[in-house]
Amino acid sequence: MTSEEDFARALRASAAHAPEPPTELFALAAERRGRTRVRRRRAAGASALALVAAAGCALALLPDRSPARPAPAATPVGQTFMSDTLSSLMPADGRVTDLSGTSPDDLQPGHTPMAWLDYDDGNGPARLLLTIDRLPTPLGDGAAALQCPDTLARPTATCELATRPDGSRLVTTATAPRWDGDDRSWTVTFADPDGRMVSATEIASGRPGHPAREQPPLTRERLLAVATSDAWRPAFTVLPASTVPPAAPVGGPAMLTALHTALPAGATFDPGTGTQETPGRVHGTVSLGGHTSQLVVSVEHGWQRGFPVEPATRFRNFGFDGSFSQTPDGTLRFVKEVPVPGPDGTKDTQGTERIAGALLPDGTMVTAKIWTYGPDHQVTAFPPALSSEQLVALVTVPSWAHA
């Protein structure tokens, strides 16, 4: 497997359990940017690019972790800062390889800092991905980035939400393998009361007959130590805080009502037997013309308002490599098809997801993802129940602004 394919696989695995479609879309966009840069740098005779995330939080390292590598000297916040900082936070008794990072620049003002590396504790490597971002404050229960993953989109073994005494928020998750040899992932997302957020994910790769390791190289406590390290504080100088508080989240009943209004004629939606408790998100199965597929829709009012980077700029980053258009009323929209690897990682078992997004004139962000499951939660290549045009029409319905 080439380095860019491995890079893509890791990002897709990270995106698969992202708490909201915008986070997933950003990871998918980062994947494509990364692969483009790899090709460019190879042509120029330079080294290959890489990935993942950087972070910052006000808490010090937890006291029970093993000695860290020497911290990098003070440098401008860029790719080197991101990769060196992440490497410095790894236990010294392990092996670090394939480290790199990304940072915002004039060509990508809506891009958040990222870093990635492979870490091997002697029992096999795992990919460590780290992203940082800013959330509007005050933090609330409706913050989309601080929700559990959607269990329809990615089977989840565990997910815990916690509010700490200082007001910080913590989300810890572990995915459940879908088939023999499926990857496993463990994520810690930490948000400081001032809105600084870092998400760190470990991904252990498996293959048929060779399941991924059941425990990650970094324990939950060590992964939390990485996310809460003061070493990330300089990275937030390139991510100024929002000046506007978050809008109230959309409740489950309002989401269902709006979705039924937005569906094309003849389509039916079944939310299932479980309750729809996640603010601003609804999932279930949609049927039309004899086809049934899985559908997840998310809505956020006032998306990215109050941040220095205009929402439209970041929206274009999320939809990178998609088909963009704009309606006469100013609604921005995109749709894209995303390949999803199957059990053996080849095109023979590869499935396809469709993702559409819309940024309405009032600042409401709507995203929808549709796919069709086969056995063992394997995404199929069958055309989903809604076409690309119908999915775009669904997310651009003006009534979402009033949900």
- pLDDT at residue 108, rounded to an integer: 60
Tokens of 15: 């995106």
HEC per residue, 288-323 = ECCEEEEEEEEEECCCCCCCCCCHHHHHHHHCCCCE
pLDDT per position in the chain (403 positions), as tens?
444 444 444 455 444 444 444 445 445 444 444 443 433 333 333 332 332 333 333 222 233 333 444 444 444 678 899 999 999 999 999 999 999 888 776 446 667 888 999 999 999 999 999 999 999 999 988 888 999 999 898 889 999 999 999 999 999 999 989 888 899 999 999 999 999 999 999 999 888 888 889 999 999 999 999 999 999 999 998 888 999 999 999 998 999 999 999 999 999 999 988 767 789 999 999 999 999 999 999 999 999 999 988 899 889 888 888 999 999 999 999 999 999 888 877 788 899 999 999 999 999 999 999 999 999 899 999 999 999 999 999 999 999 999 9
Sheet holding 291-300, edge to edge: 268-270, 281-288, 291-300, 365-371, 351-359, 332-340, 323-326
Which distant-in-sequence residues (6+ apart) come within 8 Å of 246 by Cβ? 135, 136, 137, 138, 140, 142, 143, 302
- pLDDT at residue 276, rounded to an integer: 73
- pLDDT at residue 110, rounded to an integer: 66
Q: How far is CA 401 from CA 286, 300, 323, 363, 366, in A?
A: 22, 9, 23, 8, 9
Helix (H) or strand (E) holding 35: helix 21-44
Q: 101-128: per-residue pLDDT in tens?
A: 887 764 466 678 889 999 999 999 999 9
- pLDDT at residue 50, rounded to an integer: 31
Q: What's the whole-number average pLDDT of the chain?
A: 82
**Distance from C-alpha of 225 to C-alpha of 61, rounded to nearest angstrom:** 5
Long-range CB contacts (< 8 A, 24+ apart) of 36-45? 38/3, 38/4, 38/7, 39/4
Q: 164-204: per-residue pLDDT in tens?
A: 999 999 999 999 898 888 999 999 999 999 999 999 999 99
Q: pLDDT over 90 for what percent of the chain?
A: 60
In the chain, the amino acid numbered 233 is: R
The three-state secondary structure class of 248 is: coil
Question: What is the model's pTM?
Answer: 0.83
- pLDDT at residue 105, rounded to an integer: 63
Distance of CA 50 to the CA centre of its chain: 16
